[in-house]
Amino acid sequence: MTINTTDVLVALLNVADYRWNDKEMVCVSLWGDDDKAETERSILQQNGLKLSHVRHLETLGIMSHMVLDDMAVIINLHYDKVLANTNYSEEYLLNLG
């Protein structure tokens, strides 16, 4: 099965509860249900994403790291790699959050 990197990146940015740019990274956070303990997999599934697809971004050097923080997953993506693998403009990415 081929993973479309652009589709995964666009999906992450579209479903994220929060998106921000810290100059070198594009960061997104996704929240899970409030009523139960969450895992990275369950939060991503609730947001229509597969853990294996998101982990593939790390293999490609696009994702710096993913952190489970309370009931959210925070994903840090290299700014230049997001720019190179999507149709998002530099202005759009710079003005996140």
Token match 């997001």: residue?
82
Q: Do residues 28 and 74 touch, judged by C-beta distance below 8 A? A: yes
Number of structural domains the chain divides into? 1
User: 0.75 cut: is pTM over it?
Assistant: yes
Question: What pLDDT band is residue 2 in, cutting at 50, 70 and 90?
Answer: confident
Give the pLDDT confidence of 67-84 residue by residue, as tens digits: 998 789 999 999 999 999
The Cα 37–Cα 65 span in angstroms is 21
Give the pLDDT confidence of 48-70 residue by residue, as tens digits: 999 999 999 999 999 999 999 87
How many helices (H) and strands (E) in the chain? 5, 4
Question: What pLDDT band is residue 37 in, cutting at 50, 70 and 90?
Answer: low
Q: Determine the structural domain holding residue 72 and report its residue range.
A: 5-94
